[in-house]
């Protein structure tokens, strides 16, 4: 029988295969998988470690700048630029995490929010490097080996492969002894510390993994739109990634895929209906928070349970009729 991790990976692969069948825009489909990657990385912190971080935008933005600066000013290959973006995200996450995890609860949240503002104003101030308000423009999208990526669906295929590799790696992390220890830290940090687990080291490692994946997602986003905008590093980006994670459901990596898909696609639909679409999105998010506290994945689980219980209760009756 297929285990839970394999089943969720199969679902993620089905999503990656199904998006081109139901969406006309390769750009929008790529955006779904890029943000699914960022939301899954955020889930490793929120759902598995219990850390509500507003710093994800920092790593996303740094990944965008890293790939942009590398491709604009050097002749290094795309693979190296993407690896550098992941490294930039991991290093920044270790710095932010090293200071932030010294405090818990609301103070931890305030620290990550303060770091988010700090990096935003750094990017805004050093215009010669980041482009300031305008961001880094005209970022090229070079071929990967012999494969050109200029076509939006060709780029989608490239993003989909990376997404599945990253998703499988995150599943491996979540299912390992390290991942199970993160759950112990989330559920009862004092007990985990008393048993002898180096809690700070585990939290810092979770931050580094999450930062690396978010940095890679930021780099893919910059390549997608050809720009590394200032908005990629502001706190609103952190907020969006957190909302995607919560909408999908925390503590489940595939739920992040659902959350990202829902947020990106619904935002696109609403923006085509009304210029003040954020009002509609806000109302929708309020409804999700009130009636689906375990997110979309929780809703699916409830539906499956209801169907199972209905089938089990009808089984004796049907057996009685047959008799």
pLDDT (tens, 9 = 90+) of the chain, 323 residues, equals: 678 888 999 999 999 999 999 888 899 999 999 999 999 999 999 999 999 999 999 999 999 999 999 999 999 999 999 999 999 999 999 999 999 988 888 899 999 999 999 999 999 999 999 998 899 999 999 988 788 888 999 999 999 999 999 999 999 999 999 999 999 989 888 898 888 889 999 999 999 999 999 999 999 999 999 999 999 998 889 999 999 998 898 888 999 999 999 999 988 888 888 888 888 878 877 887 788 778 888 888 888 888 888 777 766 655 544 44
Distances (CA, A) of 9 to 171, 185, 248, 255: 8, 25, 16, 11
Cα(119)–Cα(141) distance, integer angstroms: 26
- Measured at the alpha carbon of residue 42, what is the angle toward residues 283 and 31, in degrees to the nearest 5? 70
Burial track 163-189 (b if 16+ CB lie within 10 A, e otherwise):
bbebbbebbebbeeeebebbeebbeeb
pTM for the complete prediction? 0.92
Cα(246)–Cα(240) distance, integer angstroms: 10
Closest CA to 203 of 11, 66, 21, 50: 50
Instruction: Give me 46's structure tokens.
Output: 């929120």
Instruction: Give me 291's structure tokens.
Output: 């009636």
Closest CA to 296 of 259, 243, 257: 259
């Amino acid at each position: 029988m297929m285990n839970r991790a394999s089943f969720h990976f199969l679902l993620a692969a089905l999503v990656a295969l199904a998006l081109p069948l139901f969406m006309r825009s390769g750009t929008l489909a790529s955006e779904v998988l890029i943000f699914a990657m960022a939301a899954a990385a955020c889930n490793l912190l929120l759902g598995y470690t219990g850390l509500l971080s507003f710093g994800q935008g920092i790593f996303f933005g740094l990944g965008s700048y890293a790939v942009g600066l590398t491709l604009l000013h050097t002749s290094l290959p795309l693979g190296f630029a993407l690896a550098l973006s992941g490294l930039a995200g991991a290093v920044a996450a270790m710095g932010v995490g090293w200071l932030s995890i010294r405090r818990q609860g609301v103070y931890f949240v305030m620290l990550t929010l303060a770091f988010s503002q700090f990096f935003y104003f750094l990017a805004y101030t050093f215009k010669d490097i980041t482009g300031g308000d305008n961001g880094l423009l005209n970022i090229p999208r070079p071929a990967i080996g012999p494969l050109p990526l200029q076509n939006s669906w060709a780029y989608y295929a490239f993003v989909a492969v990376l997404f599945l590799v990253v998703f499988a790696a995150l599943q491996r992390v979540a299912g390992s002894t390290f991942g199970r220890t993160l759950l112990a830290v989330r559920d009862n940090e004092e007990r985990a510390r008393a048993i002898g687990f180096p809690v700070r080291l585990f939290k810092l490692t979770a931050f580094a993994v999450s930062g690396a994946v978010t940095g890679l997602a930021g780099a893919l986003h910059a390549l997608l739109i050809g720009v590394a905008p200032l908005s990629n590093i502001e706190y609103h980006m952190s907020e969006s990634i957190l909302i995607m994670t919560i909408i999908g459901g925390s503590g489940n990596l595939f739920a992040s895929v659902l959350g990202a898909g829902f947020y990106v696609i619904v935002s696109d639909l609403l923006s085509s209906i009304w210029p003040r679409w954020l009002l509609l999105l806000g109302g929708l998010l309020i409804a999700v928070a009130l009636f689906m506290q375990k997110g979309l994945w929780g809703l699916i689980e409830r539906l499956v349970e209801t169907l199972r219980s209905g089938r089990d209760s009808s089984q004796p009756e049907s057996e009685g009729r047959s008799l």
